[in-house]
Amino acid sequence: MGTLRLGDKAPNFDAETSEGKINFYDYLGDSWGILFSHPADYTPVCTTELGAAAKYKDEFEKRNVKMLALSVDGLESHKDWIKDINETQNTTVNFPIIADEDKKVSDLYDMIHPKADDTLTVRSVFIIAPDKTIKLMITYPASTGRNFAELLRVIDSLQLTAYHKVATPANWKEGEDVVISPSVSNEDAKKLFPKGFKEVKPYLRLTPQPNLK
Ligand code: BEZ
């Protein structure tokens, strides 16, 4: 498998997880998906990350996104560690964690970056659309826990821009104005965006988020 890039088909796999055996595509069904790796069980940053992810489960569900975590530790380790996460992060881990001891999935998704660590996965994130194409990839180092609110923000942008000819500006949040795609003429923009738009420059046109009442 070569390096994965945006727009590539997310590779399918079978895996052992803390919630039983899964086939990735069957698990995703027609939903969006977020697949995220972390370096190791029983480590401090990972413990906080999985606790944070669990607290956002409802928000991911609202957006029709299935969650799936991964580390190269084994099943028994995952199951015991989940008890610690639940206890210390005051939550219930409510999504599967892949036990990727043979590194099959980590290799498939290029989650081991040998110059950072030659055995453990880095903090990779893949967001996958219902057609199974990869829409977002980010990579954080082991030393930096991810921001799950940011991942939800990106999903809001991806889901909005999948259906409307807009893009979202820097630091955009759900409900704020968006920019009109450069490929849309002003004439078409008048029809597509009945709430109107503001032309700051011919290439910078702002309009209210189109899918809000
Ligand atoms: C952590 O999750 O705390 C961690 C994992 C691997 C290396 C450094 C930190």
Catalytically active residues, by annotation: 46
Whole-number Å distance, alpha carbon 44 to ligand 1 midpoint, is: 6
Question: Taking residues 27-48, what's their average pLDDT?
Answer: 98
pLDDT at position 187: 97
Q: Do 73 and 37 touch, CB atoms closer than 8 A? A: no
What's the one-letter identity of residue 53? A
Q: How far apart are CA 210 and CA 150, in angstroms?
A: 21
Q: Do 110 and 137 touch, CB atoms closer than 8 A? A: no
Atom 1 of ligand 1: nearest residue by CA position: 45
Q: How far apart are CA 55 and CA 93, in angstroms?
A: 8
Whole-number Å distance, alpha carbon 71 to ligand 1 midpoint, is: 12
Whole-number Å distance, alpha carbon 201 to ligand 1 midpoint, is: 46
Q: Is the pLDDT of residue 110 over 70?
A: yes
What residues line ligand 1, using a CB cutoff of 6 Å? 39-40, 43-46, 142-143
User: What tokens appear for 164 in the block?
Assistant: 């409307």
* Cα separation of the two ends of the chain: 45
Which helix (H) or strand (E) covers residue 104, if one does? helix 104-108
Q: Is the pLDDT of residue 1 over 60?
A: no
Please enumerate in sequence order all residues whose Cβ is within 8 A of that of 129, keeping only pairs 6 or more positions apart, or say none: 32, 135, 158, 162
Express each pLDDT in 122-181 by its tens digit.
Answer: 999 999 999 999 999 999 999 999 999 999 999 999 999 999 999 999 999 999 999 999
Whole-number Å distance, alpha carbon 171 to ligand 1 midpoint, is: 28
Express each pLDDT in 70-108 by its tens digit.
Answer: 999 999 999 999 999 999 999 999 999 999 999 999 999
Q: Is the pLDDT of residue 2 over 90?
A: no
Q: Do 71 and 85 touch, CB atoms closer than 8 A? A: no
Q: How far apart are CA 73 and CA 47, in angstroms?
A: 14
Which helix (H) or strand (E) covers residue 201, if one does? strand 198-201
Whole-number Å distance, alpha carbon 55 to ligand 1 midpoint, is: 20
Residue among 36, 42, 43, 77 to mutate when testing ligand 1 (max atoms within 8 A of CB): 43
Q: Which long-range contacts (CB under 8 A, 24 or more apart) does 190-194 make?
A: 192/164, 192/165
| Pairing assessment for the beta strands 32-37 and 65-71 based on DSSP bridges | parallel
Residue among 36, 84, 118, 143 to mutate when testing ligand 1 (max atoms within 8 A of CB): 143
Give the ligand 1 atom nearest the CA of 44.
3
Residue whose entry in the numeric block shows the structure tokens 């498998």 = 1
Which pTM does this prediction carry? 0.96
Give the ligand 1 atom nearest the CA of 48.
2
Half-sphere exposure of 45 (CA within 13 A, CB side): 14
Q: How far apart are CA 72 and CA 171, in angstroms?
A: 34
pLDDT at position 213: 76
